[in-house]
């Protein structure tokens, strides 16, 4: 099986993306995660460009990396300068990494307008830098910046820069589609020509400005590249870099290449993607191929029926191969197959043609006509099933609530206060809560009221709150749908509420959220009792 080396540049090129930033400690955690995942190279940063990157190079030496080599990134020497006096080259040595990646110019436009030097001097800059660093015992990866644009402008000159790097001792030559404007057929043609003229291992580095980053990387591999650069989740400048989260499973599963070190590494794909999103303070993309929550989600009844009979009918691979899972969505498009498979997924045991399935489907259709949407509120759908099956246990009864929003002075923020009165097993509880807004105050009051009876409620916190106006033509009397996402640190669930009153819709979603937590705790306690 042919081996493709995976070179991750999330910590350098990925961090150049808008809104992406990693702390010093975060960079070390990312490196450890990428090594556990099984990549071959981790590009840690631009040597000498900032203290954080140099600190990373010092700290990463303390890690016992099992698979990955750490690379420091830098440029060729400055025009007209001696390589021995070049501060960039010295910083690359100071980084102390076994691998050094340097970029040089391939495009005459850049030589003329950016470097403002001659074409011959640019070639000398490449040769001098590669040779100097090779003499220091480094593994050299040469990134030919803007190579494809340069080749299209002047193929002989662009090729001469690669020949210079190869002759000076570069271990891998990596043509780069730095502006992201090249198309797959161009990549294939140009990489094939490079392979005919360069007798060195070839790599590929692409950007996603034409939405072809992944396709271009795969095309390059088919044209002979054995080294692929990219970032986790496609982070990167402008539209991002080629997304390794899509490249890796395509190479491994679809194309039959070996590209990760370690047993079962591909099953960590979704976990790695979410981990990097979390450290970058990004919300994961639900529509992301392979790893998104919607990647193997089925909504239309005919599709769900097909998946029930044979998953391959509507899935291009087994979601478990990439650490994901199948989801059955509930909506007005749902059929009996949706309800049946969703109920089985949630642990219920009844026949597809049973009256319970029909009753659940009927209630689902009724509520959706009122504006409810359950495909993004699986916890509320679970509570719906419990109610239809007459298995729902009411953990408390609401006697009433009141919400006050007060602004005491024009330059002071609004204050929100909520009072909740409810009954639990015949006992009445009345509490008051304050919050940043009316829903936050109501949430605090509800949780405080229940704490004495259900201490596990203290584990629940809200992670997201979304509002949608369902019929805007009704103006201020429009129905509102509220979706609330909650978590207890181990499990995350979503609930929905609908009303003409946004506070009441929020209350309904809050109640479902709390009752779902109590429901799963009760289920867990029941299973523990059975085992003992």
Q: How far apart are CA 528 and CA 522, in angstroms?
A: 10
- Sign (positive/negative) of CA torsion 314, 315, 319, 324? negative
Judged against a pLDDT cut of 70, whether residue 474 lies above it is answered with: no
Judged against a pLDDT cut of 70, whether residue 336 lies above it is answered with: no
For residue 185, give the 3-state DSSP assignment: helix
| pLDDT attached to residue 287 | 92
| pLDDT attached to residue 96 | 96
Per CATH, the architecture of 397-531 is what?
Answer: 2-Layer Sandwich (3.30)
Q: How far apart are CA 27 and CA 56, in angstroms?
A: 7
For the stretch 146-167, pLDDT in tens is 999 999 999 999 999 999 999 9
For residue 89, give the 3-state DSSP assignment: helix
- For every residue of 288-301, DSSP letters joined together read -TTTSTTTTEE-SH
| pLDDT attached to residue 350 | 64
What are 248's two structure tokens? Answer: 């890796």
Q: Kindly report the pTM of this predicted structure.
A: 0.74
| pLDDT attached to residue 530 | 60
| pLDDT attached to residue 366 | 79
Judged against a pLDDT cut of 90, whether residue 407 lies above it is answered with: no
For the stretch 188-208, pLDDT in tens is 999 999 999 999 999 999 999
| pLDDT attached to residue 331 | 54
Q: How far apart are CA 395 and CA 513, in angstroms?
A: 12
The helix (H) or strand (E) run that includes residue 493 is: strand 492-499
| Reported confidence tier of residue 119, pLDDT bands at 50, 70, 90 | very high
- Sign (positive/negative) of CA torsion 144, 18, 214, 179? negative
Calculated CA dihedral for residues 48, 50, 51, 54, nearest 10 degrees: -40
Q: Are 188 and 223 in contact (CB under 8 A)?
A: yes
For the stretch 437-449, pLDDT in tens is 899 999 999 999 9
Letter string b/e over residues 174-184, b meaning 16 or more CB atoms within 10 A of that residue's CB: bbbbbebebeb
| Reported confidence tier of residue 29, pLDDT bands at 50, 70, 90 | very high
Percent of the chain with pLDDT over 90: 62
Judged against a pLDDT cut of 70, whether residue 349 lies above it is answered with: no
For the stretch 207-256, pLDDT in tens is 999 999 999 999 999 999 999 999 999 999 999 999 999 999 999 999 99
| pLDDT attached to residue 477 | 60
Residue of 477, 41, 366 lying closest to 228 (CA atoms)? 41
* Higher pLDDT pick, 345 / 54: 54
Regarding beta strands 41-46 and 492-499, do their DSSP bridges make them parallel or antiparallel, or are they unpaired? unpaired
| pLDDT attached to residue 326 | 78
Residue of 465, 395, 404, 477 lying closest to 435 (CA atoms)? 404
Q: How far apart are CA 469 and CA 247, in angstroms?
A: 39
Q: Per-domain residue ranges for the chain?
A: 5-279, 297-369, 397-531
- The CA distances from residue 165 to 88, 102, 113, 157, 175, in Å, are 17, 10, 22, 13, 12
Mean pLDDT, residues 8-29 taken together: 94
Regarding beta strands 5-8 and 427-435, do their DSSP bridges make them parallel or antiparallel, or are they unpaired? unpaired
C-alpha Rg value of the chain to the nearest Å: 29
pLDDT mean across residues, the chain: 89
| Reported confidence tier of residue 384, pLDDT bands at 50, 70, 90 | confident
* Higher pLDDT pick, 289 / 305: 289
Percent of the chain with pLDDT over 70: 90
| pLDDT attached to residue 532 | 57
Could you report how far apart the first and last alpha carbons of the chain are, in Å? Answer: 50
Query: Are the folds of 5-279 and 397-531 the same?
Result: no
| Residue carrying structure tokens 């996603």 | 208
Topology of domain 5-279, CATH: TIM Barrel (3.20.20)
The helix (H) or strand (E) run that includes residue 139 is: strand 139-145
Q: How many helices and strands (H and E) does the chain possess?
A: 17, 16
Q: Are 497 and 505 in contact (CB under 8 A)?
A: yes
Residue of 447, 437, 377, 442 lying closest to 407 (CA atoms)? 437
Mean pLDDT, residues 324-337 taken together: 64
**Which range is least confidently modeled, 74-83, 298-307, 408-417?**
298-307
| pLDDT attached to residue 264 | 66
Q: How far apart are CA 22 and CA 11, in angstroms?
A: 8
| pLDDT attached to residue 268 | 95
| Reported confidence tier of residue 182, pLDDT bands at 50, 70, 90 | very high
| Residue carrying structure tokens 């099956």 | 389
Query: Among 157-166, 256-265, 478-487, which range has the highest average pLDDT?
Result: 157-166
């Amino acid at each position: 099986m042919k081996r493709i080396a995976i070179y991750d540049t999330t910590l350098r090129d990925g961090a150049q993306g808008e809104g992406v930033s990693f702390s010093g400690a975060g960079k070390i955690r990312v490196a450890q995660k990428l090594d556990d995942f099984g990549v071959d190279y981790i590009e840690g940063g631009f040597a000498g460009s900032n203290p954080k990157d140099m600190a990373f190079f010092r700290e990463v030496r303390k890690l016992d990396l099992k698979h990955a080599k750490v690379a420091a990134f830098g440029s060729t020497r400055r025009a007209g300068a001696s390589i021995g006096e070049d501060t960039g080259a010295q910083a690359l040595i100071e980084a102390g990494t076994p691998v050094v990646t340097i970029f040089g110019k391939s495009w005459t436009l850049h030589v003329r307008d950016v470097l403002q030097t001659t074409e011959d001097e640019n070639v000398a800059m490449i040769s001098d830098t590669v040779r100097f660093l090779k003499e220091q015992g480094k593994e050299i990866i040469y990134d030919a910046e803007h190579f494809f644009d340069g080749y299209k402008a002047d193929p002989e000159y662009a090729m001469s820069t690669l020949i210079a790097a190869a002759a000076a001792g570069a271990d891998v030559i990596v043509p780069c589609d730095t502006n992201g404007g090249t198309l797959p057929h161009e990549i294939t043609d140009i990489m094939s020509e490079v392979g005919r003229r360069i007798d060195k291992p070839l790599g590929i580095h692409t950007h996603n400005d034409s939405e072809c980053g992944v396709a271009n990387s795969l095309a390059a591999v088919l044209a002979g590249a054995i080294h692929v650069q990219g970032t986790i989740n496609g982070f990167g400048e402008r539209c991002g870099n080629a997304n390794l989260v899509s490249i890796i499973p395509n190479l491994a599963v679809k194309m039959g290449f070996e590209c990760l070190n370690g047993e079962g590494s591909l099953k960590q794909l979704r976990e790695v993607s979410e981990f990097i999103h979390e450290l970058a303070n990004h919300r994961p993309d639900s529509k992301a191929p392979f790893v998104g929550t919607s990647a193997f989600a089925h909504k239309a009844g005919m599709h769900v029926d097909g998946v029930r009979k044979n998953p391959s009918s509507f899935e291009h691979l087994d979601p478990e191969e990439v650490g994901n899972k199948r989801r059955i969505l509930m909506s007005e498009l749902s059929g009996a197959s949706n309800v049946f498979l969703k109920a089985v997924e949630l642990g219920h045991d009844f026949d597809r043609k049973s009256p319970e399935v029909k009753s659940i489907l009927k209630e689902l259709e009724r509520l959706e006509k009122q504006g409810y949407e359950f495909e993004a509120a699986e916890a509320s759908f679970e509570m719906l099933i419990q109610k239809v099956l007459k298995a729902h246990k009411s953990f408390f009864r609401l006697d009433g609530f009141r919400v006050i929003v007060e602004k005491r002075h024009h330059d002071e923020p609004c204050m929100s206060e909520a009072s909740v009165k409810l009954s639990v097993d015949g006992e009445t509880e009345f509490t008051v809560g304050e919050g940043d807004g009316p829903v936050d105050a109501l949430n605090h009051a509800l949780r405080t009221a229940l704490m004495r009876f259900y201490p596990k409620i203290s584990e629940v916190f809200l992670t997201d709150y979304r509002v949608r106006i369902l019929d805007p033509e009704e103006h201020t009397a429009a129905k509102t749908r509220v979706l609330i996402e909650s978590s207890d640190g181990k499990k995350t669930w979503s609930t929905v509420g609908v009303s003409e009153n946004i506070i009441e819709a929020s209350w309904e979603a809050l109640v479902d959220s709390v009752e779902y937590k109590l429901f799963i705790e009760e289920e867990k306690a029941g299973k523990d009792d059975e085992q003992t």
